């Protein structure tokens, strides 16, 4: 049996965008055991989809020796493995340590170099092809069972108004106004997905709005990723920002409307055929990492409620979504 480690350094959305490449490594030969070292909130989903046989937490003290001067623990852990793929923005101590103990160690850069507008998933797959690995089996969506049904048979629209970076978010008031407008049709119910990054103030604001307007909506807060995946799988539509949850929805095959402002959808749009990306033609957008220093959210403010409402209605009406150039 060929034993392979894939070590991924990235957040939830980054890991999901790397799954086509990781799946290709897993399917690159018969009788392969793949050990994924990464964040573990996707572990159950990854294992059930046959992408990895084992998932370990990259933050575990078990792997502390991979980044220090004493590499003896690393040598013992790496001894059974034939190859290691390190998914990272650049090489570093980890790559050097692994390379000292496993002859076949490859760096898969997770982000294209500046000036190359190539989707990050395609960029990673291209590196695998250059290394002689077939990528025919690179595919989505992920499979995962659905969860809670809608209210009184209504279609469920799941909305995640947050993100790991607050400056990548369409204003909360716009999301709430959109829910208020859409619910008039009477055939929709809403689940507002909130995690730790959104904080108590957003939770209170959303709860207050739902209560005042008597909306057919409920807040889903701080659930684990598998539980969120079950909710998404049972949704007629997902709406959100450039975030890890948006990437999860698209990977699960859920029709999705995703709003982009400072980040470039040519590189970062969710991987899937049922994704409708909305962005406004704003002069300085996309700006890459420049959004972290931007005092405004003008590129997101320029996305009007009418633009989003039209996309949502189009998707719910069964007329499909824009697939762009990605499978």
DSSP characters over 216-281: SEEEEES--HHHHHHHHHT-SEEEEESSHHHHHHHHTT--EEEE-SSS-HHHHS-SSSSEEEE---
Which CA distances in Å does 82 have to 42, 85, 87, 274? 25, 11, 17, 37
pLDDT along the chain (327 residues), means of 10: 95 96 86 95 96 94 75 83 96 89 96 93 97 83 82 89 88 96 92 91 96 96 94 96 97 96 93 91 71 73 94 79 37
Structure tokens at 266: 């040519």
State how far the Cα of 55 lies from the Cα of 57, in Å rounded to an integer: 7
Give me the CATH code for the 2-130 domain, please. Answer: 3.40.50.2000
Under the phi-then-psi rule, with left for phi > 0, alpha for psi from -120 to 50, and beta for the rest, what region is 214?
A: left
CATH fold for domain 151-316: Rossmann fold (3.40.50)
Two domains, one topology: 2-130 and 151-316: yes
In this predicted structure, what is the pLDDT of residue 91? 87
State how far the Cα of 135 lies from the Cα of 327, in Å rounded to an integer: 13
- 256-259 and 275-278 strand pairing: parallel
CB 98 within 8 A of CB 84: yes
Q: 224, 236, 150: which is closest to 193 by C-alpha?
A: 224
Q: Where are the domains of the chain?
A: 2-130, 151-316
Q: pTM for the whole thing?
A: 0.92
């Amino acid at each position: 049996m060929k034993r392979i480690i894939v070590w991924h350094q990235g957040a939830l959305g980054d890991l999901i965008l790397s799954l086509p490449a990781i799946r290709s490594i897993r399917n690159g030969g018969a009788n392969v055991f793949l050990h994924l070292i990464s964040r573990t909130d996707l572990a159950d989903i990854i294992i059930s989809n046959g992408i990895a046989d084992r998932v370990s937490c990259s933050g575990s003290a078990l792997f502390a020796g991979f980044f220090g001067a004493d590499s003896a623990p690393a040598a013992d852990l790496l001894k059974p493995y034939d190859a290691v793929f390190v998914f990272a923005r650049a090489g570093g101590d980890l790559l050097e340590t692994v390379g000292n103990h496993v002859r076949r160690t490859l760096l898969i850069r997770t982000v294209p170099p500046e000036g190359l507008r190539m989707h990050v998933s395609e960029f990673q797959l291209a590196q695998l092809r250059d290394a002689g690995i077939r990528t025919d089996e690179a595919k989505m969506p992920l499979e995962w069972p659905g969860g809670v049904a809608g209210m009184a048979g209504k279609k469920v629209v799941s909305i995640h108004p947050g993100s790991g970076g607050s400056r990548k978010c369409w204003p909360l008031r716009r999301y709430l106004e959109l829910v208020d407008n859409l619910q008039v049709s009477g055939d929709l119910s809403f689940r507002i997905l909130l995690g730790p990054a959104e904080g108590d103030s957003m939770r209170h604001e959303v709860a207050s709005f739902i209560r005042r307007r008597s909306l057919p909506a409920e807040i889903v807060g701080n659930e684990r990723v598998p539980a969120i995946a079950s909710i998404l799988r049972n949704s007629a539509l997902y709406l959100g920002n450039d975030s890890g949850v948006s990437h999860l929805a698209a990977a699960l095959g859920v029709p999705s409307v995703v709003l982009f402002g400072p980040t470039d959808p040519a590189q970062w749009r969710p991987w899937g055929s049922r994704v409708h990306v909305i962005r406004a033609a704003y002069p300085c957008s996309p700006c890459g990492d420049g959004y972290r220093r931007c005092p405004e959210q003008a590129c997101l403010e320029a996305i009007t409620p009418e633009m989003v409402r039209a996309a949502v209605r189009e998707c719910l009406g069964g007329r499909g979504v824009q697939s762009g150039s990605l499978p």
